[in-house]
Amino acid sequence: MKRLYMFIEKYGFEVCTRLANLLAIRIKNVRIFFIYATFFIGVGFFLYLILAFLLKIKDLIYQKRTSSFDL
């Protein structure tokens, strides 16, 4: 189970992790919110995909460079 968790964390979108760090709350609470929003409201999954897309665009625009020669 731990290997599956590490695989998802490594190759996933990290939407919940980044949102939890931004809001300074536990990652578990953000994940539970998305699960409840998906089942009860029906928009959790679409909200998650939109946030994943926006974070991917942000990462492509604001890439961290390791040195000045990466320009």
**What is the amino acid identity at position 36?**
Y
pTM of the model: 0.64
**Tokens standing for 67?**
């040195």
Q: Tally the C-alpha atoms within 13 A of residue 40's C-alpha that lie toward its C-beta.
A: 6
Say yes or no to pLDDT of 69 above 80. Answer: no
Residue 16: what pLDDT? 84
